[in-house]
Amino acid sequence: MAYDKFNILTSTAVPLAIENVDTDQLIPARFLKATERVGFGDNLFRDWRYNPDNTPKKDFVLNNPIYSGKILVGGKNFGSGSSREHAAWAVYDYGFRCVVSSFFADIFRNNCLNIGVLPVQVSPEFAEKIFEAIAADPNTELEVNLPEQTITLLASGEKETFEISPYKKDNMLNGFDDIDYLQSIKPEIEEFALHLPL
Amino acid sequence: MSKTLFDKVWDTHVVRKIEGGPDVLFIDRHLIHEVTSPVAFLGLKSRGIKVLYPERTFATADHNTPTINQHLPVADPLSANQLKALESNSNEYGISHWGLGHQKNGIVHVVGPEYGITQPGATIVCGDSHTSTHGAFGAIAFGIGTSEVEMVLSTQCIMQPKPKKMRINVNGKLGLGVTPKDVALFIISQLSTSGATGYFVEYAGDVFENMTMEGRMTVCNLSIEMGARGGMIAPDETTIEYVKGREFSPKGEAWDKALAYYKTLKTDADAVFDKELTFDGSSIEPMITYGTNPGMGMGISHEIPNADQVEGGAATYAKSLGYMGFSEGDSMIGKPVDFVFVGSCTNGRIEDFRAFTSLVKGRHKADNVTAWLVPGSHIVEAQIKEEGLLDILTEAGFTLRQPGCSACLAMNDDKIPAGKYAVSTSNRNFEGRQGPGSRTMLASPLVAAAAAVTGVVTDPRTLIENVEELV
């Protein structure tokens, strides 16, 4: 399904300075039983966010009212493990539109791009700067500029460029998805299928 | 130009290259299950489009299914609803459906190869990261998200940038009690959980050449645990022998044509990889994990490393060990064990149960251990009975459950309780993976067997009396 267009996002950010955040943490398997794409945000980081009795864990960043925003800043190797797209849905449904990390796992990155959440990979040094800036001032604003492919710490003006393929960039800017594209070349696919080795 | 095995299979399936974008890749075989497919079907419905090639998609229910009393209605209404959705969607679109109770039902990555859906040189995807398993046949196989499941259903294609290529060579004679699982956990411990991200791996060397297909499947299955999208092994006589004659394998003239294609599937002598690593197989010992990702593994006789000896931040490392209740410098030998799980798409095949049985034979399950033995399919279940393994297991105090993913991801009732320790032959030791608060130590079926009969983490080599008996 087509998704929200992404252009320039200016927002405060939520810092999660933990490495190797896997998709089982983003959304534990027991919450994958829905047959529709609704309500996953409630269970984002469920077991880090809530005690077994469903009371919030006060020391977890999502439960700390001083942090908010549409950008999630994660540690290195964000989104590893299971291919569940539900992890990206949970990130989106919670209200994030962009995830920043110094390194993403492949499938999670793809899943984000396919639903309109922008994964922004920055250098480890810049990631550290972002964490430090937010630690010093939780109201620190970041600007994620997709047309320019830049991410900027607005207070200091420090910025870095990030990579995205021209094809995916165009999709994100216009809210197109891959199915639109694939549908448009169906005759070519059907012709191709006639000449496969298997 | 010289090509790798991966190049050959990939290039054969590229419908179109997009300037500054991904390749449009044709998918030969698509496997679906109840958890990651329903929203894809909803997408098809909302767009009003059909499944382009229903005969190329196969559905099996596995993630959610109970592993006892499968003849009874599924008690959990949400699970039952997902199973029903898989059935009705499959029926509506003309897809083969092997639901709960069907003779062919089982873990998607176990039944795919068993029935010959998995073929050398094919492209295979599934909304499950352990789809890498099928790379054991020289297929390009990898996990996808639900949006991509919808793409494959509607157009039999997905859009993927071509990954970089890595070759991992392991040569030498494996030591006593060292299984394919140990080889894989060793490699992951060397590369870390993200060391192969962005790459597709080819495994080469005599260690893999000498492995059975089941061993190769275990190795390729775990490719994703070092971040690789997939891993593959060039098909050889062992592969062809396995594939030939299976239900969905090509027959007659089609087989001859397929065979000619299979024979082309090897890396050219002068082909270049983006990265190449070589390990000595004889240096590997039975492995066990001590932390909360599969990269945190070590030889079972070693001690848990200090934070400064491992890659990554000290805070993340401390969080991980804190979750496990372990400390730097601890020996794993003698650590308490509450549960033993044998099964999953990693180690739920007949050879895994033979290995487990070979070690528990003549011994008895420790009283403090709850053991869940879950075959990967009905074929595996039947073999366990026919080969007499069940009699040996029963004698030793074990029972057998019914096929499914079970405690590997604990979507059904097979959950390790909070704080309890499990030695598990599955693939992930993430926090809460096997149930909220569960603590997982990943290991081979032999290490699982040693734990099951002694009640603590035990080096299986100390229990092996007759080497010949080991599979």
pLDDT per position as a tens digit, B342-356: 999 999 999 999 999
> Partners of B280 in the beta sheet?
B171
B293 and A179 in contact by Cβ < 8 A?
no
Amino acid, res. B456: V
pLDDT value, residue A96: 98
Classify burial at B334, counting beta carbons within 10 Å of its beta carbon; exposed 0-12, middle 13-18, buried 19 or more: exposed
Residue B224 has φ and ψ, to the nearest 5°, of -65, -25
DSSP letter assigned to residue B181: H
Residue partners of A184: CB distance under 8 A and separation at least 6? none
B430 and A81 in contact by Cβ < 8 A?
yes
| Distance of alpha carbon B162 from alpha carbon B229, whole angstroms | 11
The CA distance from B39 to the nearest CA of chain A, in Å, is 6
3-class DSSP assignment, residue B368:
coil
Give the start-to-end residue ranges of the domains of chain A: 6-192
Query: pLDDT-based confidence at B471, cuts 50/70/90?
Result: very low
| Distance of alpha carbon A138 from alpha carbon A33, whole angstroms | 35
Q: Which residues of A touch B144 (CB under 8 A)?
A: 83, 107, 110
- Residue A22 contacts B, CB cutoff 8 Å: yes
Termini Cα distance of chain B: 42
pLDDT value, residue B62: 98
| Distance of alpha carbon B110 from alpha carbon A10, whole angstroms | 47
- Residue A128 contacts B, CB cutoff 8 Å: no
Q: For the residues B222-236, what does the mean pLDDT come to?
A: 98
Partner-chain residue, chosen from A22, A88, A105, that has the shortest CB–CB distance to B430: A22
| Distance of alpha carbon B382 from alpha carbon A39, whole angstroms | 41
Outline where DSSP puts E strands in B127-241. 140-143, 157-160, 164-171, 199-204, 230-232
A35 and B143 in contact by Cβ < 8 A?
no
3-class DSSP assignment, residue B261:
helix
3-class DSSP assignment, residue A160:
strand
A20 and B53 in contact by Cβ < 8 A?
no
Q: Which residues of A touch B409 (CB under 8 A)?
A: 24, 29, 82
Would you say A121 and A163 are in contact if contact means Cβ atoms under 8 Å apart? yes
pLDDT value, residue A198: 82
Partner-chain residue, chosen from B18, B46, B157, that has the shortest CB–CB distance to A1: B46
pLDDT value, residue B466: 58
pLDDT value, residue B58: 98
Q: For the residues A29-36, what does the mean pLDDT come to?
A: 94
| Distance of alpha carbon B37 from alpha carbon B34, whole angstroms | 6
Query: pLDDT-based confidence at A4, cuts 50/70/90?
Result: confident
Q: For the residues B417-424, what does the mean pLDDT come to?
A: 98
Whether the ipTM is more than 0.90: the answer is: yes
pTM of the prediction?
0.97
| Distance of alpha carbon B6 from alpha carbon B23, whole angstroms | 14
Q: Which residues of B touch A107 (CB under 8 A)?
A: 129, 143-145, 229
| Distance of alpha carbon A74 from alpha carbon B137, whole angstroms | 36
Amino acid, res. B363: R
DSSP letter for each residue of B305-318: PPGGGSSS-HHHHH
A6-192: what CATH class? alpha beta
Q: Which of A179, A180, A183 should be substituted to probe chain B, the one whose Cβ sees the most B Cβ atoms within 10 Å?
A: A179
> Partners of B336 in the beta sheet?
B456
Closest by CA to B202, choosing from B228, B180, B227, B181, is B228
> Partners of A99 in the beta sheet?
A72, A119
Query: pLDDT-based confidence at B1, cuts 50/70/90?
Result: confident
Query: pLDDT-based confidence at A46, cuts 50/70/90?
Result: very high
Given strand B164-171, what is the order of strands in its sheet?
A: B230-232, B199-204, B164-171, B275-280
Asked if pLDDT for residue B319 goes beyond 70, the answer is: yes
Would you say B325 and B415 are in contact if contact means Cβ atoms under 8 Å apart? no
Residue partners of B457: CB distance under 8 A and separation at least 6? B288, B300, B332, B333, B334, B335, B337, B423, B441, B447, B450, B451
> Partners of A98 in the beta sheet?
A71, A118
The CA distance from B64 to the nearest CA of chain A, in Å, is 8
